[in-house]
Chains A and B, each alone.
Chain A
Amino acid sequence: MYAFIVPGLLFFLVFAYLPMLGNVVAFQDFSPFRGIAGSAWVGLDNFTALATDPEVRRAFVNTIVIATLQLIFAFPAPILLALLLNSLLSETVRRFVQTIVYLPHFLSWVIVIAIWTQVVGGDSLATSLLSLVGVEGFNAMGEAETFKILVVLQSMWKDVGWGTIIFFAAIAGIPRELYEAAAVDGAGGWRRTWSITLPGITPVITLLLILNLGGFLTVGFEQMLLQQPAVGADAAQVLDTFVYFRGVAGGQWGIAAAAGIVKGIVATAMVLAANRIAKKLGSQGVF
């Protein structure tokens, strides 16, 4: 049996756990040429530098704003879509629509951004159509002010369909007797959705919400990185892109790693807190 386990174990040790140790560079004035052994230890200097760095503040604020918008708009969207599709009477139509809305999930962010640029960007279909009604120079992909809304819309376009899968599974798990009994008692379609379907999928919603909070500060890294040239760092710098630009591109490895650690700690704390709140409210929680 160990012949099966050891290669996988080695993989996880080398590529997942060894790098966790690599985070010690956050406490160093690290340079790749000197290596971890040869770089000077600087204690918490990198963390204090972070606290006073205006770019960190900007990245942090952007991250929080986008993450909150995602939570308010992109998180409930698949639930609503699943309820809507579930209420369709025709199985054929429902399957057809499912086939269509799942598709964008499988496209890479590079392709998604490229497509959006061609449809609502600076010299795009939308620009031409709007110029017909007198609106010139429309460019949804280059506006720093509305960029955060754009990001949420893109995420919804890509993943709203995919997100419905899990809610469909949850809806399918609700006993049909409940609906029959409610119908006999005179409950209409809306009432059945509100009083049976929604409570029935609440455990799944809670579970996903908790898992989502773990990735709360991870807001579409590739999505942000790819669009930063178009809208500028003021609008599109988030914690992950900060780590990339400051560390890999900028060579300030220690500060970037410190930002990564802070983000990791915050994410873990949020999962634990959400889990505790869910339990207090009577839900099961994840662990």
Chain B
Amino acid sequence: MAAPTLSSPVGRARPHRPGPSRGRSRGTGRAPWEHETPPLVAALKAVIIVGISLTMVYPLVYIVMMSFAAPSQAHSGTILPTAFSLDAYRAIFRGDAVLQGLGNSLWLTVVGTSLSMVFTTTMAWGLTRTRDVPGARLVLLLALGTMLFNAGMIPHYLLIRSLGLLDSSWSLVLPGLISAFNMVVVRNFFMGLPRDLLDSARIDGAGEWRIFLTIALPLSKPVLAVMSLFYAVGYWNMYFNAMLYLNDASKWPIQVVLQQYVLAGVPLPGAVAAAEAPPPALSLNMAIIVVATVPILLAYPFIQKYFRSGVLTGAIKG
């Protein structure tokens, strides 16, 4: 299959192929013949685009607003709350469940992403020399094969079970430690590093580890950043594996907590303090959704920044 390619950091000349965000942003803009949209078409386009944008954004805005709505307005009939309170947030953090979920997800995201990056980059580096390292090509094909063939849920479950990893947080990290796609993208980026630089380092007597750590990794920051973000989002969003492998509720990541207390409607333990009017279930739900989403929203500008750099487009382009 078409291996993903990546524009090299040395700025290989690519005629007619400017990154989507690069080409037209520079200079004076478009050619004169492109400015000829009839007003009716322009208006139609504007309506469609505003409609799509609102459909994407309004639900998120609505959830955030309602999580802060005062109890009197926290019902489904409110379109734009006018009175606000923090009761819902106080309530969800009163019990252990949400805090524990956030803590577990944080652990999973930090530990998982770190380990994934270590093993992804080392393997990618090891596979850059498929020409002169015997067997490396076979290993590369094995890794690529996992992109087409998947053993399926039952054997994976049986494996985790026989490794004694059921109810262990490691069952969420180990099975997805290396994504073949990410590994190949990093490898292709490494392949684009200037050969002369690596060769001269080798002649000067630098070992592979030294070259990898002091030359390859520092030169590959953009692709490493994108891959870290991909892994991090994957770990933060992990739901099914956690549900499948973890029975112990104290180990659940936030996604399972969210599913249990918001979607399945299990009452949140400890959310209702004695001698106090309980906050409406609606704002509790909204607040849990918000705390589960905020880390993604915080990471999003960084993700965006790297889309701009064109790294990703090159990575996905077949």
**Residue from A2, A14, A85 within 8 A of B126 (CB atoms):** A2
- Nearest neighbor of B183 in chain A, beta-carbon distance: A8
Interface string of B197-238 (1 = CB under 8 A from A): 000000000001100100000000000000000000100111
Which residues of B (1-51) have their CB < 8 Å from a CB of A?
A: 1-2, 16-21, 23-25, 29-31, 33-37, 41, 45, 48-49
Q: Evaluate contact between A253 and B154: CB separation under 8 angstroms.
A: yes
Q: Which of A101, A104, A257 contacts B155 (CB 8 A)?
A: A257
Q: Is A135 an interface residue (CB 8 A)?
A: no
Q: A84–B44 Cα gap in the complex (Å)?
A: 11
B129 touches A176 (CB 8 A): no
In the assembled complex, A20 has its CB within 8 A of some CB on chain B: yes
Report which A residues bind B (CB closer than 8 A). Answer: 1-5, 7-9, 11-23, 25, 32, 35, 81, 84-85, 87-89, 91, 93, 95, 97, 99-104, 106-111, 113-119, 123-125, 127-129, 157, 161, 165-166, 168-176, 179-180, 183-184, 188-189, 204, 207, 214, 221-222, 225-226, 229, 240, 243-244, 247-248, 253, 256-257, 260-261, 263-264, 268, 271, 286-287
CB closest residue in chain B, given A174: B16
- Complex CA–CA separation, A106 to B135 (angstroms): 37
CB distance from B191 to the nearest CB of A (A): 14
Contact B151 A118 (CB under 8 A): no
For A229, give its contact among B62, B256, B264 (CB under 8 Å).
B264
B123, A20: Cβ atoms closer than 8 Å: no
B178 & A248 in contact (Cβ 8 Å cutoff):
no
* Cβ-based interface call for B164 (8 A): no
A residues within 8 A CB of B53? 97, 100-101
In this complex, the member of B154, B286, B317 whose beta carbon has the largest number of chain A beta carbons within 10 angstroms is: B154
Instruction: Name B121's closest neighbour in chain A (CB-CB).
Output: A4
Sample of 16 more A-B contacts, CB < 8 Å, known A184-B33, A189-B37, A204-B318? A2-B133, A19-B156, A19-B159, A87-B37, A100-B57, A103-B57, A104-B56, A109-B239, A128-B75, A165-B307, A168-B313, A171-B20, A172-B18, A183-B34, A247-B157, A256-B154
B277 is an interface residue with CB less than 8 A from chain A: no
Contact of B274 with A by CB under 8 A: no
Chain A residues whose C-beta falls within 8 Å of the C-beta of B233 in the assembled complex:
106
B86 contacts the other chain (CB 8 A): no
Whether B148 pairs with A271 at a CB distance below 8 angstroms is yes
19 A-B pairs (CB sep. < 8 Å): A4-B127, A4-B212, A8-B122, A8-B126, A11-B178, A15-B174, A16-B146, A18-B159, A22-B156, A22-B158, A32-B158, A97-B49, A100-B53, A108-B239, A125-B79, A171-B20, A189-B36, A253-B158, A268-B149
Q: State whether the Cβ of B110 lies closer than 8 Å to any Cβ in chain A.
A: no
6 closest A-B pairs (Cβ-Cβ)? A4-B126, A8-B123, A22-B155, A108-B237, A19-B151, A260-B152
Across the interface, which residues of A come within 8 angstroms of B33, CB to CB? Answer: 179-180, 183-184
Residue-wise interface mask of B (142-185) relative to A, using a CB-CB cutoff of 8 A (1 in contact, 0 not): 11011011111111111101100000000000110110100100
Determine chain A's interface SS by DSSP, over half rule: helix
> With an 8 A cutoff between CB atoms, is B293 at the interface?
yes
Size class of the contact patch on chain B = 35 or more
> A188 vs B38: C-alpha distance in the bound complex, in angstroms?
11
**Within 8 Å of chain A (Cβ to Cβ): is B98?**
no
Closest B residue to A35 using CB positions: B162
In the complex, residue of chain B having the shortest beta-carbon distance to the beta carbon of A7? B119
Q: Write the chain A residue with the least CB distance to B243.
A: A225
Is B66 close to A, CB under 8 A?
A: yes
Contact B285–A114 (Cβ < 8 Å): yes
Least CB distance from B76 to A in Å reads 5
Q: Residues of B at under 8 Å CB distance from A?
A: 1-2, 16-21, 23-25, 29-31, 33-37, 41, 45, 48-49, 52-53, 55-57, 59-60, 62-63, 66, 75-77, 79, 119-120, 122-123, 125-127, 129, 133, 135-136, 139, 142-143, 145-146, 148-159, 161-162, 174-175, 177-178, 180, 183, 208-209, 212, 233, 236-240, 244, 255-256, 258-259, 262-264, 282, 285-286, 289, 292-293, 296, 299-300, 303-304, 307, 312-314, 316-318
Summed over the interface, the residue pairs from A and B with CB atoms below 8 Å come to a total of 283
Contact check, B129 vs A127: say whether CB atoms are below 8 A apart: no
Q: Closest CB-CB distance, A11 to chain B, in whole Å? A: 5
Cβ distance A65 to chain B, nearest Cβ, rounded Å: 22
Residue of chain A at shortest CB distance from B292: A111
A171 to B17, CA, bound (A): 9
Please judge, given known A-B contacts A95-B21, A248-B157, whether A169 and B48 are in contact too, CB under 8 Å: no
Instruction: Give Cα A263 to B314, complex, Å.
Output: 32
Complex Cα–Cα for A4 and B57 (A): 44
Given B45, B76, B133, B292, which contacts A127 in the complex, CB threshold below 8 Å?
A: B76
Residue of B nearest to A264 (CB): B152
Chain B contacts for A183, CB-based, 8 A? 31, 33-34
Q: Is the CB of A261 within 8 A of B152?
A: yes
Taking a contact as CB atoms under 8 Å apart, the answer to whether B142 and A110 are in contact is no
